[in-house]
Structure 1
Amino acid sequence: MDRYTKARKIFEEIRDRPYRVMVTADDTAQNCYIKNKELLEELGMLGFGVRGRFCEMDWNDTPLPKDLVKLYPEDLLATHFYIEIEENGNWRALDASWNKELEERGFPICTWEGDNPIGLKVKKLYNFDEQTAYLEEASKDEIVEDYFTRAAPFLKALNKWLDKADFY
């Protein structure tokens, strides 16, 4: 099996795990960061040029029910992580976040071929300096605690909604 076929299989296997969000800092839910970080590592081991990207997003720009999105604090920054892969000297986005079952709910499902390269609308793409600064700030204990405390109602409700969405 050539490395492109292996890479595609790895991408599809990771993408098709049910997406869930972390509800505590110790959680290991299959969210955008966990799934795409694993994809980055796996493709890197196959010899692909890969890099991680962070962007700002808005849950209002997703197909989630509006009453669910209202639970997310308006002043709390929402970010998304995906990867870029280098092909023939060009970088292209590859996002393993949303599992295939969510397509029926209106979520754009990304493919290896580049259909829907990022699974949501990007409000602001961080350059690499901004990304480093964001990661330093976001990893501070008080920031993490504040995020999970304030976002908890939304995060728990989102996982419940996703549990139901995966079975329709």
Structure 2
Amino acid sequence: MLKLLRFNARTWFFLGFLGCVFLLAMGAYFQFIDGLDPCPLCISQRIAILLTGLVFFSAAIHNPGQAGVTAYAVSGAVTALCGAAISTRHVWIQHLPADKVPECGPGLEYVLQNFPLFETVKLMLSGTGDCAKVDWTMLGLSMPAWTMIAFLMLAILSLLQIWNYKETVR
């Protein structure tokens, strides 16, 4: 059974890249079609998806040997796990009691124009009261929870390529 799923690392990295494209497309759909405005943590998660996708795309294009596959696999896992950490914080904020939710801050556009870059990044990673709002659920899980699951799957997919490369070379 596993032999049927044993594509080369290049193919798996490309499939991971397509998964990232799908996640970004879903974010764009929810924002532009359904009218759900992303909060700072949502935008941070999208950036992490983009970075993970770029690592996967680079690996697929490069088609490296064992050392390169290992480097790309670790890089892809690190970017995906950073995204999972952001998603975890987002889910945590969504589950805080109403009196513990951070204050809603100014809009991201205002912050980008009027605050130093360090303060903007701090806001994007710490979240605001806007992040506590749950606009969408599926099977009882919010969008950040599903994004966290996707990040964890991408990290696993990435790290499995180290093992996969050794197996496909034999």
Query: Hey, which of these two has a bigger chunk of helix by percent?
Result: 2
Q: TM-score, normalised by structure 2?
A: 0.25
Q: TM-score, normalised by structure 1?
A: 0.25
The structure with higher relative contact order (CA 8 Å, sep 6+) is 2
Larger Rg: 2
